[in-house]
Amino acid sequence: MKHKNQDKISVITVLKMHWRAFKLLDREAPLMFLGSFLHESMNALTPYVNVYFSALIINELAGDRNPEKLWKLVLITLIANAVAALIKAGAKCFKNWKHEGGWWQREKIYGDKLLSLDYCDVDDQRTHNLRSQVSQNDNLSQWGLYRIKIFFDQLTLSVFKIIGAVALSVSLFTLKVPEGAGVFTVLNHPLFLLGMVLALLCVTWLAPACSTKAGSYWVKTAEDMKQRNRISYFFGEEVSRDRNRDLDMRMYSQQDICERYYDTADIFGKKTAIVKAAAGPMGAWSALSAVFSTLLTGIIYLFVCLKAWAGAFGVGSVTQYIASVTALAQGLAMLLKNLGEMRNNAEFLKITYEYLDIPNKMYQGSLTTEKRVDRDYEVEFRDVSFKYPNTDTYALRHVSMKFKIGQRLAIVGMNGSGKTTFIKLLCRLYDPTEGEILLNGINIRKYQYDEYMSIFSVVFQDFKLLALPLGENVACSKDYDREKVTECLIKAGFGEKLKKMQDGIDTYLYKEFSNTGVSVSGGEAQIIAIARALYHDAPFMILDEPTAALDPIAEAEVYARFNEIASDKTTIYISHRLSSCRFCDEILVFDNGRIVQQGNHDTLVAVEDGKYHQLWHAQAQYYQK
Amino acid sequence: MKKKKQTERPKYNMLQNTAYIIGLSWKVRKSVVFICLATAGVAVATNLVELFFAPVVLGKVEVAAKFKDLVVAILVFAAALMVLAALKAYIEQNTRPGRSRVNQHMLKMVNRKAFVTSYPNVENPSSLNMFERAVRTVIYDYASVGAVWDILAKLSENIVGLIVYVMILSTLDPILMAVTTLTTVLAFVLTRRIYNWGFLHREEKSGYNRRMTYACQRGSDVALAKDIRIFRMRPWLEEFYQEAMRQFKAFALRRETIYIRADFLDIVLLLLRNGFAYAYLITMALKEGLPASEFLLYFTALNGFSTWISGILTNVLMLHRTSLEISVVREFLELSEPFLFEEGKPVTKDRLGAYEIQLKDVSYRYPGAQKDTIHNLNLTIRPGEKLAVVGLNGAGKTTLVKLICGFLDPTEGTVLLNGEDIRQFNRREYYELFSAVFQQFSTLEITLAENVAQSIDEIDMERVKQCIEKAGLTERVARMPKGYDTYIGRKVYEDGVELSGGETQRLMLARALYKDGKVIVLDEPTAALDPVAENDIYLKYNEMTAGRTSVYISHRLASTRFCDRIIFLAEGQITEEGTHESLMRLDGKYADLFRVQSKYYQEGGAADEA
């Protein structure tokens, strides 16, 4: 991080990065930037209407005082102001409409990335660290992607401010001090004009440069703040909001520990870098920046008033020139400040793009898995070994096996023996480190990813349902075959509960989005997940600990339905409850990432020094008389 | 009903809450108060300098004053502006830290209350709602403390400004000030009424927002990521998001077409006010010869006067809104405690482990429920006894545990410790009697040793090691990068270690052992363990519970074998009670359940039945 900061990003790159941010948001939120453009340009221009017309009034007052002309001017001023304000109001209405929802449109860009990533990258902590860093930058100090909106607003505003100001102040330089003013005719010299422009540029460059310098302390302390924020978020917000911690919190009096850890975050503590900077250099640079912008006010007053005093123009014009040159300076300052901040923001955008550009590394083939009516899919593991990314130990070693079509396969083993990893490789959530997996004799990498996935229906141990209607959850789609959904629910054993549901399969699960939503228990959710797997009717059906949340009676029901659930599919069943092995044709026993035994229950249980025997008896002893 | 009324009317009014924040800030960081005064002072001074700058200088030009006078006037004003601007910028940079510290202090108070409040309070939706609001108020630096101080600075600026402007304008006809005041107040009141639409439709808005947030955040759920890929859920999620976004956009358009009326109103009233001011001042200029510079001064001052008034109105309104939130924070902090803590009787800790817990005619009904979860239950847990509680899901096992551990007080009947009602004890001391592993267990993102000892300073490392050994984690700890000092979890410390479900459960067991409570409560402690590990725990159970009372809750009947007594819970009552053998002989529900579970474990049996 430090290192990267040191080599500055070139201006072209900074602009390119922001152009990309612009395009990204523009695609997600069409017309948003048009809204900004309309509103901000009106914001910049409307004040000039008043400046221009009221200067005319004051000039008239300081000059001829012609009543008829004065009243006419007043009327025009009032009408012009009102019309400008009306247009601005219309633009504001349009902008607010188009801008609403922007926060989520940005979230959507981030969320979509996670949805399209290879699973192994979703499962990688670094991806999530990156993601949360992006969010933190976005939400805490508004750096990153969304900043382009602020930049666009401010750049539009400043550009139009400058245009208006130049239009109203040109005459300041063209109107000459009359020849009779003696020594003051020197004010007519073009060098004065040049000097004025230089002073303007110098000061409008210095002021924002100082404020950018002040802002850079946030960038410098970002790394330090990041860790502080993580501590403060977990111990300050997450723990107290997590209702699953309530019992442990009280039983183990954890409040003091949490408070002690929270205090170590020490955000804005007296000794933290950012607080020291604010009291020292950061505050000083800000103050200096403010001095430079006001210095300009002094110079403008001096120049304009001297010219007026020498007789170049009237008093009313003084107000106009002062207002417009001040606005010119403000416009320029704002322009430069934002350009400077774009450079700071580029550092944050780099992180954003690092996240958005995580590549999909998995090789994607083009073969289709022909939809075979006979479900004749043969899958084979050939000497497969696997290490999780960034780990040194193998989770699977030299696994070779072949699925027999229509077979019921049980996988047993201790925690961490590689059972779930085996499933993840089978479904190609990960690619093997060594060896290959074949479908009908061809490496699975050569198939189209989605097509290959579609031959599996899986109920994972940590499956998830969404807080949407029951039917949609089973079908994983908004439109679905209602009869088939009902049928699958009944088959999975949800029939009784379904009858009691008021809106049937249209009932919302959980209460997030509907007050009449039903909070299903862990066991019921598991049954819905089984129905979901049934609905997708894939040739391979994989159940990972599908009865963990069920009580013995409900578990026995699932067992009893197993035949119906499995029907003609190739079924893989993972369970700690070895009783389930009894109705499977074949059992794979995993130990330390290897398949150590394979066979049916009776053969395996007979091998007395085998792993299966050990597992079986650990459990069965309590149930046998 | 009573509760609802309370939440509608805040307990503390605006002045009380403002005073509260001032007092708190004074206690935590005095500088916050001075910074506010300085901010207001600089703002008023800046405004006055700006007000007089143009008219004074213009006056000099208009009357063709001496060259030197003109230059001096410009330089003095400019210098003053520079100093003030520098001060303002410097103060602004140093404003946030102090306010944030006060906020953090409030967050700590709110958290402490949430951590230690009587358990029924965290199960009660209305107090939970209060907690959520309180947290939301205190986590953002700009929401509570920051807001109050910002408002106070603005209010003082506005009030002082108003007074000065009244003095300036007092030479004019009072009708000018009256018209300005009237149009300003009218604009404020009427536009508020229009913007109230947003407040009335806030539920609708948050409904869309919740949907979109939900849709956007699904991607970061690692568990769901598998389901999304296997079942190709992306189009479904996309449709859900797009639908919510479409509705939200329509909502925004509806709102904006209403809000634009407020702009129209402002435009009309401003037109009236400026029209009147021009008419008056121009007439004055024409009739009484008011110089152009003074015309400018008065016209600017009238607009400024209007700004001060609407500033005061806006800030009072904002203070009122902020005050409502602060009141919620205070009400949450003062939430009444149904349990006794420090003021309760101390639990006598004399005899080693000789604690008898008795449930006498206990019924428990969750607030708002139709029927009792526990109904008229009598149970005595004798010192040193090993009790097993079995029953199906929903039988009331977890509620029973909560009653025994003193997390809930019975709706009827009493829970007695050595014959004394536990309600009169210091509840925190009562909790010290227990070592428990609950179904919803949690680790903190602190070091492994701290997680076991549940302490930062007083850690008996020998004991930590013993407990880790007993829970079967020694080998896992050896593989951790920093051994016992390794952080658990990676949410906070990047070099932390994520534990699997089974490992976490073992860690929970080690934690319970370290605490060495007199009563051990284990609620389904082996659900995430493999058969060998589960059996290992069973075998160690006697050792772990030696000399202690223990309560073991499970629907795995295997676990009941090594308990002295089994109670079978159904519909909140004890329907069967005895040892495994006696219950099997009884041939009731327990025996049924046992047969269902053991069916597949019988030699030869069940394979063909399935």
Kindly report, residue by residue over A267-276, the tens digit of the pLDDT: 999 899 999 9
* Pair A137, A68 in one domain: yes
Radius of gyration for the alpha carbons in chain B, expressed in angstroms and rounded: 35
B94 or B533: whose pLDDT is higher?
A: B94
- Residues 6+ away with beta carbon under 8 Å from B5: none
Among residues A205, A216, A218, which one has the least CA distance to residue A335?
A205
* Pair A448, A555 in one domain: yes
* Pair A428, A558 in one domain: yes
- CATH number for the domain running over B438-516: 3.40.50.300
**Over the stretch B442-463, which tens digit does the pLDDT of each residue have?**
899 999 999 999 999 999 999 9
Is residue B608 predicted with pLDDT exceeding 60? Answer: no
- For the residues B114-121, what does the mean pLDDT come to? 94
**Mean of pLDDT over chain B:** 89
Architecture per CATH, domain B339-433+518-537+549-600, reads as 3-Layer(aba) Sandwich (3.40)
Cβ pair A231, A9 in contact under 8 A: no
> B606 falls in which pLDDT band (50, 70, 90)?
very low
Question: H or E segment at B368?
Answer: none
Hey, how many other C-beta atoms are within 10 angstroms of the C-beta on B207? 15
From the number of C-beta atoms within 10 Å of its C-beta (0-12, 13-18, 19+), residue B509 rates as buried
**Mean of pLDDT over chain A:** 88
Q: CA-to-CA distance for B501 and A573, rounded, in angstroms? A: 19
Q: CA-to-CA distance for A355 and A126, rounded, in angstroms? A: 10
- Residues 6+ away with beta carbon under 8 Å from A154: A40, A334, A337, A338
**Measured between CA atoms, how close is A597 to chain B, in angstroms?**
17
**Measured between CA atoms, how close is A462 to chain B, in angstroms?**
6
Q: What ipTM is given for this predicted complex?
A: 0.87
Q: CA-to-CA distance for B214 and A513, rounded, in angstroms? A: 10
Cβ pair A237, A366 in contact under 8 A: no
Report if residue A121 sits inside a domain. Answer: yes
Q: CA-to-CA distance for B376 and B396, rounded, in angstroms? A: 12
Is residue A1 predicted with pLDDT exceeding 60? Answer: no
> B284 falls in which pLDDT band (50, 70, 90)?
very high
Task: Give residue B124's pLDDT.
Answer: 86
Q: For residue A97, give the amino acid letter.
A: W
- For the residues A297-311, what does the mean pLDDT come to? 88
Site of tokens 């999909």: A360
* Pair A121, A241 in one domain: no
CB contact under 8 A, A96 and B557: no
Option in B62, B70, B114 nearest A315 (CB): B62
* Pair A506, A608 in one domain: no
Residue ending a domain, among A264, A286, A313, is A264
Q: CA-to-CA distance for A231 and A257, rounded, in angstroms? A: 13
CB contact under 8 A, A287 and B455: no
CB contact under 8 A, B296 and A319: yes
Helix segments in B379-530, DSSP class H: 397-404, 427-432, 448-453, 461-470, 474-478, 501-515
Q: Does domain B12-333 have CATH number 1.20.1560.10?
A: yes
* Pair A451, A468 in one domain: no
DSSP classification of residue A367: B
Torsion of CA A528, A532, A533, A536, to 10 degrees: 160
Q: Of the ranges A193-207, A338-352, A406-420, which one carries the lowest mean pLDDT score?
A: A193-207
Order of all β-strands in the sheet with B357-364: B374-381, B357-364, B412-417, B420-421
* Pair A23, A122 in one domain: yes
Residue ending a domain, among A507, A537, A567, is A537
Give one word for B487, left, alpha or beta, with left for phi > 0 and alpha for psi -120 to 50. beta
Site of tokens 């200067």: A55
**Over the stretch A83-125, which tens digit does the pLDDT of each residue have?**
999 999 999 999 999 999 888 899 899 999 999 999 989 888 8
Task: Give residue B243's pLDDT.
Answer: 94
Q: What are the start and end residues of each CATH 1.20.1560.10 domain in chain B?
A: 12-333
CB contact under 8 A, B601 and A579: yes
**Over the stretch A578-599, which tens digit does the pLDDT of each residue have?**
877 877 889 999 998 999 999 9
Hey, how many other C-beta atoms are within 10 angstroms of the C-beta on A296? 24
* Pair A555, A412 in one domain: yes
Q: CA-to-CA distance for B264 and A184, rounded, in angstroms? A: 49
Q: What are the start and end residues of each CATH 3.40.50.300 domain in chain B?
A: 339-433+518-537+549-600, 438-516
Q: What angle do CA B354, B356, B359 make, to 5 degrees?
A: 170
Site of tokens 């009902």: A486
Residue B590: list chain A partners with CB under 8 A. none
**Measured between CA atoms, how close is A406 to chain B, in angstroms?**
17
Q: For the domain that residue A487 is a member of, what is the CATH number?
A: 3.40.50.300
* Pair A32, A150 in one domain: yes
Option in B70, B257, B295 nearest A93 (CB): B257
Instruction: Work out whether strand B565-570 and strand B386-390 pair parallel, antiparallel, or are unpaired.
Output: parallel
* Pair A435, A573 in one domain: yes
**Over the stretch B529-540, which tens digit does the pLDDT of each residue have?**
777 777 877 777
Report if residue A82 sits inside a domain. Answer: yes
What is the number of domains present in chain A?
A: 4
* Pair A507, A595 in one domain: no
Residue ending a domain, among A537, A563, A587, is A537
> A3 falls in which pLDDT band (50, 70, 90)?
very low
Is residue B464 predicted with pLDDT exceeding 80? Answer: yes
CB contact under 8 A, A554 and B393: yes
Task: Give residue B395's pLDDT.
Answer: 85
> A7 falls in which pLDDT band (50, 70, 90)?
low
Share of chain A above pLDDT 90, in %: 47
Which residue range is the domain that position A478 belongs to?
Answer: 457-537
Option in A74, A93, A552 nearest B597 (CB): A552
Share of chain A above pLDDT 70, in %: 97
Of the residues B61, B431, B584, the best mutation for testing chain A's interface (the one with the most A CB atoms within 10 Å of its CB) is B61
Residue A613 tokens, joined: 């025997």
Task: Give residue B610's pLDDT.
Answer: 32
CB contact under 8 A, A255 and B112: yes
Q: Is the full-model pTM beyond 0.90?
A: no
B-chain residue closest to A558, CA distance: B610
A243 or A475: whose pLDDT is higher?
A: A475
What separation, in Å, do the N-terminal and C-terminal C-alpha atoms of chain A show? 66
